[in-house]
Amino acid sequence: MLMSFLRVPLAALAVLAMSVAAGAETLKDVRKVSVGGDGSVSPAVVKMVGQQLKQAVRSTRRPVSLPKVTMDVRLSNAVRGLGTQAGRNSAQVAVVLRDRAGIPVSSEEFTVNSFMVGAKAGDKALAKAISQRVAHAYRLAPVKAATADGRPGKRQTPRSTSHSNKPSAGASVASRVEEPVIIPSEAALTVRPRVRKPKVEANASAETKPAPCVVTATTNCN
């Protein structure tokens, strides 16, 4: 009973081990890529595929040492959709891996389809589809986009803005005209102003001062 129960897991492990071994045998360390095409393939597609695959190869890192090979990619029988099939493009792709002596060690052929309306946009879409298909088949790093001339797109670097920190003549005039607005605090609004009392001159005449009231029998100061 126990042996029959273990037969299925053991068989699954055996299949998994065989698949891993087969993958290790087919996996190679691609060191160089060359791309070419016949007259049906746009030169822009050939350039973009070459640029994208070379970038993918440079970005690929293998965890173990593998046989080093070169990759030869040939594009042919490109079809550009017209009329009701406009935007439907395809091409035949043949990939050959060669060892250091130039002897083919593996080869594969497949058809790649893409859909994009417009000549330039269609070429970009087809080139990216081909590159992604090849990179996936040979376990390369993800494919990055390329420009129509086959070169990687340049990142736009911002221009130096050091001169913009200096105020212009118009800005300086505006800053002089517009004075800052000062809002007083609540405490400042509740302060009572101090009023100075007028000084009495020392030499003031006695006539300006009222005479003191003296109570007598005939005078009442009330």
| Cα–Cα distance measured from residue 38 to residue 50, given in angstroms and rounded to the nearest whole number | 15
Residue 119 lies in a domain: yes
- pLDDT tens for the chain, 222 residues long, are 445 444 545 444 444 444 434 444 568 899 999 999 999 999 999 999 999 999 999 999 888 888 999 999 999 999 988 888 888 999 999 999 999 999 999 999 999 999 998 889 999 999 999 999 999 999 999 987 655 554 555 544 445 444 445 555 554 544 455 555 455 555 555 555 565 666 655 555 555 566 667 666 676 666
Residue 27: predicted pLDDT: 82
Alpha-carbon dihedral angle through residues 35, 38, 40, 41, given to the nearest 10 degrees: 10
Residue 21: predicted pLDDT: 41
Residue 86 lies in a domain: yes
Residue 150: predicted pLDDT: 45
Q: Which conformational region is residue 120 in: left (phi greater than 0), alpha (psi within -120 to 50 degrees), or beta? A: alpha
Residue 81 lies in a domain: yes
Residue 176 lies in a domain: no
Residue 189 lies in a domain: no
| Cα–Cα distance measured from residue 107 to residue 97, given in angstroms and rounded to the nearest whole number | 6
Going by C-alpha positions, the residue among 99, 130, 146, 137 that lies closest to residue 37 is 130
Residue 144: predicted pLDDT: 77
The sign of the dihedral angle between the CA atoms of 165, 169, 172, 174 is negative
Residue 106 lies in a domain: yes
Number of domains making up the chain: 1
Residue 166: predicted pLDDT: 53
CATH for 124: 3.40.50.10610
Distances from the Cα of 197 to the Cαs of 190, 194, 200, 202, 203, in angstroms?
22, 9, 9, 15, 18
74 lies in which domain range?
A: 26-137
**What is the rounded radius of gyration, in angstroms, for the C-alpha atoms of the chain?**
46
- Within 10 angstroms of residue 56's Cβ, the number of other Cβ atoms is 21
